[in-house]
Amino acid sequence: MEIRKTCKICNKKLGYRQRTYCSATCRNKFYNKKYSKQHTEWQRKKRDKEASISDIKKIKCEICGKYYRQVGTHIIQIHKISAREYRKQYGFDVKKGQLPNDLKKLKAKQIFENGTVNNLKTGKKFWFKKGSKTAGRYERSEQTMNRLKQLHKFNKR
Q: Does 76 bind Zn ion (CB under 5 A)?
A: no
- Min CB(3)–Zn ion separation in Å: 16
Range 45-64, binding Zn ion (CB under 5 A): 61, 63-64
Q: Does 103 bind Zn ion (CB under 5 A)?
A: no
x/- mask, Zn ion, residues 20-49, rule CB under 5 A, reads --x---x-----------------------
- The residues with which 68 forms a beta bridge, in sequence order, are 59
Instruction: Give the nearer residue to Zn ion in terms of CB position, either 10 or 108.
Output: 10
Interatomic CA distance for residues 31 and 77, integer angstroms: 30
Q: Are the CB atoms for 67 and 58 separated by under 8 Å?
A: yes
- Min CB(32)–Zn ion separation in Å: 13
Phi first, then psi, for residue 60 (nearest 5°) are -80, 135
Q: Are the CB atoms for 22 and 7 separated by under 8 Å?
A: yes
